[in-house]
Amino acid sequence: MKKILSFLISLSTLITYAQVKQYTLEECVMIALEKNISIQQSELDLEGADIDRADAFGNFFPRINAQSQHIWNNGLSQNITNGLIENLTTQFSSLGGNLGVTIFNGRQNINQLARANLSIISRQYQLEDMKDDISLFVANTYLQVMFNKELEDVQRYQLELAQRELERTQIRIDAGVQTKADIYEIEANLAAQEQALVQAENSSQLSKISLAQLLLITDYENFDIADVDYDVPLSQILLEEPKKIYEKALTLRNDIKVGVTNIDIAKKDIKLAKGALLPSLSAFYNYNTRISYSDRFVETGNLIETPIGVVKENGSLVVTQFPEREITDAQSFGDQFRQNDGHSYGLSLNIPIFNGLAVKNNIKRRKLNLKRAENLFEQTKLDLENTINQAYNNAEGAYKFYEASKKTLKARREAYLMAEQRFEIGVMNSYDFIQAKQRYEISASDNVRAKYDYIFKLKVLEFYFGLQITI
Phi first, then psi: what are they for 320, rounded to 5°? -140, 165
pLDDT at 295: 58
Alpha-carbon distance of 233 to 456, in angstroms, equals: 11
Residues linked to residue 63 through DSSP beta bridges, in sequence order: 100
CA atoms of 45 and 41, how far apart (whole Å): 6
Contact present, 252 and 466 (Cβ < 8 Å): yes
The ranges assigned to domains in the chain are 23-62+101-276+352-464, 63-100+286-295+330-351, 299-329
pLDDT of residue 431: 84
Residue 178, Cα to own-chain centre: how many angstroms? 69
Burial class (CB in 10 A: 0-12, 13-18, 19+), 396: middle
Q: Does residue 13 register a pLDDT over 50?
A: no
Share of the chain above pLDDT 70, in %: 87
Q: Is the pTM of this model over 0.75?
A: yes
Rounded to whole angstroms, how far apart are CA atoms 471 and 455? Answer: 10
**Total number of residues shown for the chain:** 471
Rounded CA gap, 315 and 459, in Å? 124
In sequence order, the 6+-apart residues with CB closer than 8 A to the CB of 340 are 289, 290, 291
**Least confident range of 314-328, 360-374, 378-392:** 314-328
313 versus 134: the higher-pLDDT residue is 134
Most trustworthy range by pLDDT among 68-82, 319-333, 336-350, 358-372: 358-372
Using an 8 Å Cβ cutoff, are 269 and 366 in contact? yes
What was the pLDDT predicted at 303?
73
Integer Cα distance of 302 and 287 in angstroms:
36
Q: What is the dihedral of CA 450, 452, 455, 460, to 10 degrees?
A: -100
Specify the pLDDT at position 328: 63
Is-contact 339 292, C-beta < 8 A?
no
Higher pLDDT, 50 or 79: 50
Fold of 23-62+101-276+352-464: Outer membrane efflux proteins (OEP) (1.20.1600)
Are 118 and 264 in contact, with CB atoms under 8 Å apart? yes
466 phi and psi, to 5 degrees?
A: 90, 15
Q: According to the model, what pLDDT value does residue 19 have? A: 63
| CB crowding 312-349: b at 16 or more within 10 Å, else e | eeeeeeeeeeeeeeeeeeebeeeebeeeeeeeeeeeee
Can you give the pLDDT at residue 289? 87
Number of alpha carbons in the 13 Å side-chain half-sphere of residue 171: 8
Q: What CA dihedral angle connects 207, 211, 217 and 219, to 10 degrees?
A: -20
**443, 409 contact by CB (below 8 A):** yes
Kindly state the DSSP code that residue 105 receives in the 8-state scheme: S
Average pLDDT, the chain: 86
Mean pLDDT of 433-453: 92
- φ, ψ for residue 329, nearest 5 deg: -70, 165
Q: pLDDT tens digits, residue range 105-114?
A: 989 999 999 9
Contact between 448 and 154 under an 8 Å Cβ cutoff? The reply is: yes
What dihedral do alpha carbons 372, 374, 376, 379 form, nearest 10°?
-140
Chain centroid to Cα 155, Å, comes to: 42
Pick from 433, 467, 96: nearest CA to 290:
96
In tens, the pLDDT along 274-287 reads 999 999 999 999 99
Lowest mean pLDDT among 83-92, 140-149, 374-383: 83-92
For residues 143 and 311, the answer to whether their CB atoms sit within 8 Å is no
Helices within 253-321 (DSSP H only): 254-275
